Amino acid sequence: MITSKTIANGILRAIGTLVVIAIAFYFLYQIQSVLVYLLVALLLTLIGNPILDFLQKRLKFNNTLATISTLSLFFLLIIGFISLFIPLILAQSESLSLLNTNKIEQNINQLINQIAFFLEQHNIDSNKVLKETNRSSRLNFDFIPELLNTIISTISSFGMGLASVFFITFFFLKDKKYFTETLKKLIPDSHEEPILNSLTKINHLLSRYFIGLLLQLGIVFILYIIVLTIFGIPNAIIIAFLCAVLNIIPYIGPLIASILAAILTMISHLGNDFQAVTLPTTIYILIGFWIVQLIDNNLSQPIIFSKSVSSHPLEIFLVILIAGFLSGILGMIIAVPLYTILKVVGKEFFPNNIVIQLVTKNI
């Protein structure tokens, strides 16, 4: 029989649960920097695991020496990236005025005026095509300097964060066996084998995925620079860098990158004749970028998305599409790693399910 006392106790328990959840979220919010360090350390661990295994199995390094060597390689790569690319990116950003939002808007306004004049010369109603020549004033160009400043400030102000991340990564790599043994003691015996198998497979697949993703972005970055350099585009490094970063977003990122490259190319040619120089050069750049995307879509991405995570390209496309509808751009970025984790867990815990068998047959 339900009494007022039972109802009151239930309400109190519900309120208590909500309070505990609220406190937990507040605590996580307060230590968000630590969570970021843990996430970055985990990514470095996933990328470093194959290197660690190679040093231990092929070169016969002991565990500690292999771990130190792996972290030293990461450190040298980061220092090399900062010393080689950041000064160039800063210099070219200032040259292209990408760190000044007002200057960007002025350049866009000037570019739109040139396009309007070109359309009028060819008896095309520019107001109808462009709607309003001051449209750019309503556009938010803050994302360009914000993106650059975020990337640069994150790398340049790593300091304490870099030390923290490397410290955490060191123990993630060095004490894998210790963490495994501790996990064995915490989980029930009935679920020990599937959980440990899941973690092993997830670690293997995601390591391959993130290494492949870095390789893909590097290839696209180099190809973008080649295209921009062939057609004599100034500030080629910064334009290629921005477009390569956008390539992290599946399918939509390359489209945005092409549009951004076209706009920045036209801005860099503001002093030239629009019809004779600016427009043809922009078309060539777009064609070059589409060729790069053709190479990427048919060579790089199938290797990463299909072979690294053992999924069919159509399967990956649908997963990314659904994730995009559900969670936007962030969902598209994390779709493949999250889907891979779910597949591995599904195969270990529900091996007899027909759907699970179909989607995990290659794992």
290 and 205 belong to one structural domain: yes
Which span out of 88-92, 105-109, 224-228 was modeled with the highest average pLDDT? 224-228
Q: Which of 174, 195, 226 is the last residue of a domain?
A: 174
pLDDT tens per residue across span 178-216: 887 887 777 777 777 888 888 888 888 888 888 888 888
211 and 78 belong to one structural domain: no
282 and 211 belong to one structural domain: yes
170 and 187 belong to one structural domain: no
329 and 219 belong to one structural domain: yes
pLDDT at residue 73 tops 80: yes
In-domain check, residue 1: no
Share of the chain above pLDDT 70, in %: 77
Q: Which two tokens stand for residue 157?
A: 């102000």
82 and 126 belong to one structural domain: yes
Please state the rounded mean pLDDT for residues 118-127. 66
Give me the domain span that covers residue 35.
Answer: 6-174
Question: So what's the pLDDT on residue 280?
Answer: 87
187 and 169 belong to one structural domain: no
151 and 208 belong to one structural domain: no
Q: Which of 123, 150, 174 is the last residue of a domain?
A: 174
Q: Which of 174, 193, 213 is the last residue of a domain?
A: 174
189 and 306 belong to one structural domain: yes
257 and 161 belong to one structural domain: no
When the pLDDT of each residue in the chain is averaged and rounded to a whole number, the result is: 78
304 and 327 belong to one structural domain: yes
pLDDT at residue 131 tops 60: no
In-domain check, residue 262: yes
In-domain check, residue 44: yes
pLDDT at residue 228 tops 50: yes
In-domain check, residue 158: yes
Rounded CA-CA distance 220/292 in Å is 7
* Per-residue pLDDT band at 59 (split at 50, 70, 90): confident
Rounded CA-CA distance 185/181 in Å is 7
Closest CA to 230 of 292, 161, 177, 317: 292
Amino acid identity at 139: L
pTM of whole model > 0.95?
no
- Between the alpha carbon of residue 259 and those of residues 138, 220, 246, the distances in Å are 18, 16, 11
pLDDT at residue 143 tops 60: no
Domain count, the chain: 2
Torsion angle defined by CA atoms of residues 51, 53, 59 and 64, in that order, rounded to the nearest 10 degrees: 90
pLDDT at residue 328 tops 60: yes
